[in-house]
Amino acid sequence: MKLDPQIAGMIAELDSGFPPVHTMTGAQARAIIRSRLVVPDEPEPIAEILDELVPGPGGDIPVRIYRPAGDELPVLIYAHGGGFVFCDLDSHDGLCRSIANSTPAVVVSVGYRLAPEHPWPAAAEDVYTVADLAANGMFGGDRGRLVVGGDSAGGNLAAVTALMSRDRGGPELAAQLLIYPVIAADFTTESYRLFGHGYYNPKPAMQWYWDQYVPSPADRTHPYAGPLHADLRGLPPVVMVVAGHDPFRDEALAYASALRSAAVPVTLLQFDGGIHGFMSMPTLDIARDARRRVGVLLRSVLGSADG
């Protein structure tokens, strides 16, 4: 298993440039990550984008709605990555545009509350709330084809939202999109040993993210914090992206296996040459391929509006 050639050519620079967030406060890490954001001169066009505020359990939740051309499109509630601590609607704007166009679907990106100021389960409750609003028609689209999705920490929040939706009797979800998700606070896996240093997202940062979001280790085995500990029966089908050179690889694969054991359909897209976060690097061929294939698979799982 080798790194993608384009990633191999930049991995040393990526890794050395990753800020030591584990030495910072949440606010400091957020500021430095935000300062590194590069907005493209010509973002991928889409028919309509709206920024709105919707009511949430801790106050108004910012959302950004991406609406491609077309009628009765599925609706994807999307939770961005960022270790539960940083990133925002702007950091994942390009990825959301791409998924909205490639599926196509109405994508609702959620500006959920961030840790450590808002620890677990605040972020998950925000994403769940937006999914519930979508099921009640707030964002239009086909409410019968409602999806929750996210990358990294956002993949955790999407998986948890699916569990909450099942446990609370709604909203009814048609699918989950989990992109290299954070599934369990286990730093002893083989993929952590292999890729916890030198592959852009170091193990100390991963441990720090959990410390910010779920400060009590006892809470990390709660199903709404670590979904690998949940009863997974009765969940909607999953499209999962796994990167081969990712500390989270093994927990994602374990989750895919556990879902299948619970009779949940799983479509696994494994990019052995990828690193954590590669789909947010649009200059990479592997990222563009992954975005395209995610759209194809979501279309297949969701089917047409008329069934």
Collect all residues with Cβ–Cβ distance below 8 Å to 28 and sequence separation of at least 6.
Answer: none
pLDDT of 157 reads: 99
* pLDDT given at position 204: 97
Q: What is the CA radius of gyration of the chain?
A: 18
Of 188, 191, 181, 112, whose CA–CA distance to 151 is shortest? 181
Nearest Cα to Cα of residue 241 among 272, 207, 262, 283: 272
pLDDT reported for residue 78: 99
Nearest to 249 by CA among 171, 192, 292: 192
Q: Is 216 a catalytic residue?
A: no
CA distance 195 to 220: 22
Contact criterion met (CB below 8 Å) for 77 and 130:
yes
Distance of alpha carbon 127 from alpha carbon 113, whole angstroms: 9
Catalytic residue among 152, 165, 191, 280: 152
Is 191 among the catalytic positions? no
Closest among 195, 182, 176 to 273, alpha carbons compared: 195
Report if pTM > 0.95: yes
Catalytic residue of the set 142, 245, 276, 280: 276
Retrieve residue 181's tokens.
């998700």
Cα 189 to chain centroid distance, Å, stands at: 21
Gap between the terminal Cα atoms of the chain: 40
Rounded to whole angstroms, how far apart are CA atoms 154 and 146?
17
C-alpha–C-alpha distance, residues 75 and 65, integer Å: 10
Residue 307 confidence (pLDDT): 52
pLDDT at residue 305 in the model? 64
Task: Identify whether 93 is a catalytic site residue.
Answer: no
The one catalytic residue among 165, 246, 250, 280: 246
DSSP string, the chain: ----HHHHTTHHHHHHHS--GGGS-HHHHHHHHHHT----SSPPP-SEEEEEEE--BTB-EEEEEEE-SSSS-EEEEEE--STTTS--TTTTHHHHHHHHHHTT-EEEEE----TTTS-TTHHHHHHHHHHHHHHTTTT-SEEEEEEEEEETHHHHHHHHHHHHHHHTT----SEEEEES--------SHHHHHHSSSSSS-HHHHHHHHHHH--SGGGGGSTTT-GGGS--TTPPPEEEEEEEE-TTHHHHHHHHHHHHHTT--EEEEEEEEEETTGGG-TTSHHHHHHHHHHHHHHHHHH--TT-
Residue by residue, pLDDT tens for the chain (307 residues) are 899 999 999 999 999 999 999 999 999 999 999 999 999 999 999 999 999 999 999 999 999 999 999 999 999 999 999 999 999 999 999 999 999 999 999 999 999 999 999 999 999 999 999 999 999 999 999 999 999 999 999 999 999 999 999 999 999 999 999 999 999 999 999 999 999 999 999 999 999 999 999 999 999 999 999 999 999 999 999 999 999 999 999 999 999 999 999 999 999 999 999 999 999 999 999 999 999 999 999 999 998 665 5
